[in-house]
Amino acid sequence: MSDMPLNVTAATSATSSAALLPCTPLWVKAASRLIQLLPFGRYRLMNAVGRRSAATFVAELRQDGKAYRFLCNLQDGIAREVCFTGMYEPQETLVLRQLLSPGQVLLDVGANWGYFTLLAAHCVGSAGRVISLEPDPRLFPQLQTNITLNRLAHVQAIQVAAADREGTMTLAGFDEAGENFGVSRLVANGDKVHGRCFPVRTASLDTILEEYNIDTVDVLKMDIEGAEGLALRGLEQSLSTHRVRRLLLEVHPHDLLRYGIRAEDILQSLTNFGYRCLRVSHDLRATRRAAYSRHLQLADILTPIDTMVGLDNWPHLLFLAPSIEL
């Protein structure tokens, strides 16, 4: 593969560029402290005050008293949520924090600017490894910079889209005038798209694991807007040997259909490899508890399932290899 881990020259350049950016504005710091103390209404207030500025600055993500710096553009809903509430996707944050331990390996497929990458880097420590994949040419430099800002030598970023083979595909990029910078997706054959598109390199995850000498993946997190079917086809060798112990997957049923794949096919394929499935609850009660409670356990938000019937529009699922427990 042509993309190798961030080198010294790129790291120095990224750090220098970030050094020119302002630190977190005082009003943002004050609003963040207030919002994180609220017993309810955090997200409403966050959105009310967070749209005041779109200028990028260097913010901090705090984990167990340690600060991780990241480039923050408050127009981006993900960055805004992390900046003001201290986390993104509370349920998935809880899952990763409780599953990952020092010395383990996480593969972040669809890393965006790196929230889950930074979280995992903290959880696995310098003895562990984090491999982060992000194909969008606007997000990948941010991911690189965030890794470099925090001197995370155990984290490697690869600008590639996970698919079923080596090659090139078209990426339909997110709308820079919108607020969701996490919806870039691979374009299926015959798909009509609008807005900015980019040619991106694709590779199978089996190939990536081999080339980066990864024998075991303790957790594979995947959120790639409907291309999960292609990515899992490119992971079948590793799935068949249970090289991947746990798979945290966001499924996009409507987007999967663009590739002729049903959500039920995903569940059946992984079940055939011996994995068992648990649904990560995203109902209002579970989301509120995950966002506000400090005493939530995995058992409070995970439910075993054997069908995709009755799930929400974007089900979040946790698959466990045989003999692997939470």
- Rounded Cα distance between 196 and 107, Å, is 27
Name the nearest CA neighbour of 207 among 245, 175, 168, 160.
160
SS3 state of residue 223: coil
Q: What pLDDT score does 52 carry? A: 74
Structural domain includes residue 79: no
Let me know if residue 260 belongs to a domain: yes
Domain that holds residue 131: 88-320
CA torsion 69-74-79-81 (nearest 10°) is: 120
Q: Tokens representing 24?
A: 């977190």
Ranges of residues in the chain whose predicted pLDDT is under 70: 1-19, 54
Model confidence pLDDT, tens digit, residues 283-295: 999 999 999 988 8
Domain-embedded: residue 95: yes
Q: How much is the pLDDT for 50? A: 87
Is 283 part of a structural domain of the chain?
A: yes
**pLDDT score for 5:** 40
Number of domains in the chain: 1
Q: Domain with 195 in it: what CATH number?
A: 3.40.50.150
Does some domain include residue 172? yes
Residue 54: predicted pLDDT: 64
Residue 39 lies in a domain: no
Q: How far is CA 160 from the centre of its chain?
A: 14
